[in-house]
C-alpha cells in the first residue's frame, strides 16, 4: 500500500514536476507475469523515476546498509526504502551474490517485476559501463523476459531539461554464455541511451 501512496501522493507528484519524464515504449512491458527491467544508471533518482513511469510495482535489490542504520533516522530510512519497493541484500562479496540472485528469483517466481541496473552502481563518468551477469543468470533460471530501458538526463535534473525513459522490446539474450547475453543487453541499452560504452566495470562510489 505504501508503495502506491509514495508514488501517487507523497513523492511521485513532486518528482514528476521536477523530472517531467517523457516515456516511450511503455507497451513493451507485460501487464502481468514475471518480468525483468534492466536500465542504465546515471543518478540516485533513477530507480524512483522508473517507479514513477512504470505502472506495475517494481522491486529493487538494495544494499543491506540502507536497512541497518540505528536510531530514528535509520528507522525512517528503513521504512522509506521498504515502502519504495527495495529489498535488502548483502552485497559484500562471497555468498552475497548467490543471496541476491535467490532474492531476484523469488520476486519473479511470485509473478513480480524485478528492476535492476546491470552496471551495479551509478556511472562515475556518464558513460555506459560493462554489465554484471546477474540479469542473464536470473533470466536463464526463471525464463522471465528482460526489458532493456535507457534513461537520459537524470544526472542533472532541471525543469527545462525533461528526463527521458526509453523502453525497448524484450531482449532475446544469447544463450551460449551469460557474458555474451549480458554484453548483448548492454549494447541494446547503449543504442537507446546514446552513451559511449566503456568495457570496464563502473567503480562503486
Yes or no: say if 115 and 58 are a contact pair by the CB < 8 Å rule. Answer: yes
Residue-range domain boundaries for the chain = 2-19+33-198
Question: Could you read off the pLDDT of 106-156 as tens digits, one per residue?
Answer: 999 999 999 999 998 999 999 999 999 999 999 999 999 999 999 999 987
- pLDDT at res. 122: 92
Homologous superfamily of 2-19+33-198: Glycerol-3-phosphate (1)-acyltransferase (3.40.1130.10)
Q: Can you give the C-alpha Rg of the chain in angstroms?
A: 16
Residue linked to cell 540479469: 135
Amino acid at each position: 500500500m505504501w508503495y502506491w501512496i509514495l508514488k501517487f501522493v507523497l513523492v511521485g507528484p513532486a518528482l514528476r514536476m521536477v523530472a517531467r519524464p517523457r516515456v516511450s515504449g511503455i507497451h513493451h512491458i507485460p501487464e502481468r507475469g514475471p518480468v525483468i527491467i534492466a536500465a542504465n544508471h546515471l543518478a540516485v533518482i533513477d530507480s524512483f523515476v522508473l517507479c514513477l513511469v512504470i505502472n506495475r510495482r517494481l522491486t529493487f535489490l538494495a544494499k543491506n546498509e540502507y536497512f541497518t542504520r540505528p536510531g530514528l533516522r535509520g528507522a525512517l530510512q528503513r521504512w522509506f526504502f521498504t515502502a519504495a519497493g527495495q529489498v535488502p541484500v548483502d552485497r559484500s562479496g562471497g555468498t552475497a551474490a548467490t543471496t541476491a540472485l535467490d532474492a531476484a528469483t523469488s520476486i519473479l517466481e511470485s509473478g513480480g517485476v524485478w528492476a535492476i541496473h546491470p552496471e551495479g552502481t551509478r556511472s562515475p563518468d556518464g558513460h555506459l559501463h560493462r554489465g554484471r551477469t546477474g540479469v542473464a543468470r536470473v533470466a536463464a533460471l526463471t525464463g522471465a523476459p528482460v526489458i532493456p530501458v535507457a534513461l537520459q538526463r537524470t544526472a542533472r535534473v532541471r525543469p527545462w531539461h525533461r528526463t527521458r525513459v526509453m523502453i525497448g522490446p524484450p531482449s532475446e539474450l544469447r544463450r551460449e554464455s551469460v557474458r555474451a547475453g549480458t554484453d548483448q543487453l548492454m549494447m541494446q541499452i547503449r543504442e537507446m541511451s546514446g552513451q559511449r560504452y566503456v568495457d570496464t566495470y563502473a567503480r562503486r562510489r
